[in-house]
Amino acid sequence: MFNYTFQWKQALARLPQMLDGAVVTMQVALLSMAIGIALAVVLTLFRLSGSRILSGIATSWVEIARNTPALFQIYMAHFGVASFGIHFSPWTSLLLGITFNNAGYLAENFRGALKAIPDTQARAGRSLGLSELQAFRFIVMPQMLRISFLPMTNQMVWAILMTSLGVTVGMNTDLYGVTQDLNALTFRTFELFAVAAVIFYLITKVIQLGARLLARRMFRY
């Protein structure tokens, strides 16, 4: 049927190397999510602070993250900051770029979630003597994270997919980077990237399944 001989064995022989790459991909994505969530909470607090400067910083961050390509953000973290004499490794640049993106999108999700939590919740907390920050920390934030759980799962999947962009700044230890290097050695482009695609697909499914199980355990109310 095809004038092409598929050589799957060649690609599968490289599976261990690719799985090592998949581990790096997951590490970067998980780390960027953990830092991204923390930063998004800070950005949310900035927006709630009533300070013009702080909410200006937060809004700029969110809008730039949402209105420019993720690849642009990674370029900025790599080539852009190099103009200031700061030279990050590909790994760091990729992490920074994805984290910036995650934080921006998540902060916007958090803002939407906050609208669904009545003001009276924080007020009830304040009336018990909790400080403003405590009321946020113990009453508002847990509910905010609960409402944002599905968007956070989606963002996690995005973070996995975004790791593939690291190759543009010279990353070669993640799944995409490893596959690209193997391709340069063997020229089995289709087979190698097909295997990589299957691995990516499985990772996202595992994340979605894991998130569902986690949600069932965490949110019993």
Partner 1 sequence: MIEIQNVRKSFGALEVLKGIDLTVQNGEVLTIIGGSGSGKSTLLTCINGLEPIDSGRILVDGTEVHARSTDLNELRQKIGIVFQQWNAFPHLTVLENVMLAPRKVKGMSKPEAEAMAVKQLEHVGLGDKLSVYPSRLSGGQQQRMAIARALAMSPKYMLFDEVTSALDPMLVGEVLDTLRLLASEGMTMICVTHEMKFAREVSDRVAFFHQGVMAEIAPPAELFGAPKSPDLQKFLAATA
Partner 2 sequence: MFDTALSANDLIFLAKGAGMTIFVTLIAVFFGTVLGIVFGIFRYQVGPVIAAPLTFVLDVFRSIPLLIQLVLANAFLGMVLRLGLSGLTVACIVLTLYTSAYCAEIVRGAIESVPQPVRRAARSLGLSWRQDMTNIVLPLAIRVGLPSWIGLSLGVMKDSALVYVVQVTELLKSTQILITRLQEPLLLLMICGAFYFLISFPVARLGGYLEKRWTHD
Contact set for partner 2, span 82-121 (CB under 8 A): 82-84
Does the protein bind partner 2 through residue 75 (CB under 8 A)?
A: yes
**Burial grade of 191 (CB within 10 A; 0-12, 13-18, 19 or more):** buried
- Candidates 42, 57, 130, 157: give the one binding partner 2 (CB under 8 A): 157
Sequential DSSP letters for 194-221: HHHHHHHHHHHHHHHHHHHHHHHHH---
C-beta of 72: minimal distance to partner 2 in Å?
Answer: 6
Which of 38, 198 has the CB closer to partner 2?
Answer: 198
- Candidates 17, 27, 72, 215: give the one binding partner 2 (CB under 8 A): 72
C-beta of 217: minimal distance to partner 2 in Å?
Answer: 24
Does the protein bind partner 1 through residue 123 (CB under 8 A)?
A: yes
Q: Which residue's structure tokens are 């760091």?
A: 92
Contact set for partner 1, span 192-221 (CB under 8 A): 219-221
Q: What is the DSSP letter of 144?
A: H
Q: What is the DSSP letter of 67?
A: H
Torsion of CA 115, 119, 122, 128, to 10 degrees: -160
**Site track for partner 2 across 47-66, x = CB under 8 A:** ----------------xx-x
Type and span of the H or E element at 78: none
- Where along the sequence are the contacts to partner 1 (CB under 8 A)? 118, 120-121, 123-131, 134, 138-139, 142-143, 146, 219-221
